[in-house]
Amino acid sequence: MESAIEYHTARALLDWQIELGATEAIGDAPVNCYDLPDAMPGSARALRAEQARATASPAAPGAIVPQAEVDPVAVARAAAAGASTLDDLRTAMAAFEHCELKKGARNLVFSDGVPGAPIMVVGEAPGRDEDRQGRPFVGRAGQLLDRMLGAIEHSRESSVYIANVLPWRPPENREPNAAEIAMMLPFLERHVALADPKVLIVMGNVACEALLGKRGITRLRGTWATVWGRPALPMFHPAYLLRQPTEKRLAWADLLEVRAHLKAKT
C-alpha cells in the first residue's frame, strides 16, 4: 500500500499549484456541472430563481434593499419647474442635495441686481469673495464688471440682473465639471425665465458651455446667439480681462453691441 504524502510535501505541492494559478480543488474524476441539480446552491438557474423571488416578494424587516440610482438632472428639473417665483427658486436650489459643491461652500450665491432688468449677466461660479458675501461678482472681477456696465449707462442697482451657472464655489476655484453644469442647468433655465431679461450676456467659457454648448470664448465673443428664446452675446469674463487688459477694447465693442441692441428694441 502506498504511503500517504507527508504534510510538508503536500503543503509544498499545494503552494506550487496556487502559484501556477489554480483556484479550485478538484478530484481525480471529472465532474459534469451540467448534470448537477438546478436547485444546487450557486447554479445559474438557482441564482436566477433567487433574484426573481427577491424582486417579487417584499423585503423582510431589517433587510438591506438596494436603492434606485437617482438622476440629479431629473431631480433638478422637477424642482425648478415647481418654482413660480425667484424666491421659490432660491429655496429649491438651497434644498438641492445632489451637488457635492454645496458641502464645501459657505453660502448659496443666488443673484444680485434688479429682477426684471433688461440685461441679465450669467457668469461661471462664485469665487472666494462671492462665497463669503453670498453675492455674485463682488471681487476684483465684479468691480471691473460694474465699471464696464457703467460705461454703457447700466448698473446692477438699476438695470442689470446677475447670476451664475453654479451657485456654489468650486474648491480652489477650479472649473465646474460637466456633471455639475448639467445638474444645475435646469435651475439656470428657470432662473432666466423668471428674471425675464431682454438680453443675456454670457460671461466666459463655462457660461458658454452651459448656455451655448460650446467653448472657445475668443471665437464666440461678439457673435449673437439665441438661448432659451432670448438674444445672448458671449463676452470675455472680467477675470480674463484683468489678466489680459489689451482685450478690453474687444469687450468695449461687445458692450456697445448690447447697448445698440437694447436701443433698437425700445
Q: Residue ranges per domain, the chain?
A: 72-265
Mean pLDDT of 22-35: 61
Over 80: is that where the pLDDT of 9 sits? no
**260 CB neighbour count, 10 Å cutoff:** 11
- For residue 49, what pLDDT is reported? 55
Stronger pLDDT, 194 or 19, i.e. the higher one: 194
Mean pLDDT of 27-39: 56
The one-letter amino acid code at 24 reads E
Reported confidence tier of residue 13, pLDDT bands at 50, 70, 90? confident
Q: Residue 114: which of 186, 168, 187, 163 has the closest Cα?
A: 163
Q: Mind listing the pLDDT tens digit for each residue in 129-166?
A: 999 999 999 999 999 999 999 999 999 999 999 999 99
Mean pLDDT of 83-92: 98
- For residue 23, what pLDDT is reported? 64
Map residue 78 onto helix, strand or coil: helix
Q: Which CATH architecture has domain 72-265?
A: 3-Layer(aba) Sandwich (3.40)
Q: Quick one: DSSP state of residue 115?
A: T
Stronger pLDDT, 102 or 11, i.e. the higher one: 102
Mean pLDDT of 225-249: 97
Question: Taking CA 232 as the corner, what is the angle to CA 101 and CA 182, rounded to the nearest 5 degrees?
Answer: 25
Quickly list DSSP for 160-226: EEEEES-SSPPGGGPPPPHHHHHHHHHHHHHHHHHH--SEEEEEHHHHHHHHHS---HHHHTT--EE
**Residue percentage of the chain with pLDDT more than 70:** 76
Give the chain's mean pLDDT.
87
Strands 199-203 and 230-235, how do they pair? parallel
Question: How remote is the C-alpha of 237 from its chain's centroid?
Answer: 20
Residue 163: phi, psi to the nearest 5? -150, 175
Over 50: is that where the pLDDT of 1 sits? no
Stronger pLDDT, 10 or 205, i.e. the higher one: 205
Q: Residue 230: which of 266, 183, 263, 262 has the closest Cα?
A: 262
Range with the poorest average pLDDT among 54-58, 94-98, 177-181, 184-188:
54-58
Grid cell in block for residue 181: 453644469
Q: Mind listing the pLDDT tens digit for each residue in 35-78?
A: 545 444 444 455 455 555 555 555 556 656 556 688 999 999 99
Reported confidence tier of residue 265, pLDDT bands at 50, 70, 90? confident
Burial of 134 (0-12, 13-18, 19+ CB in 10 A): middle
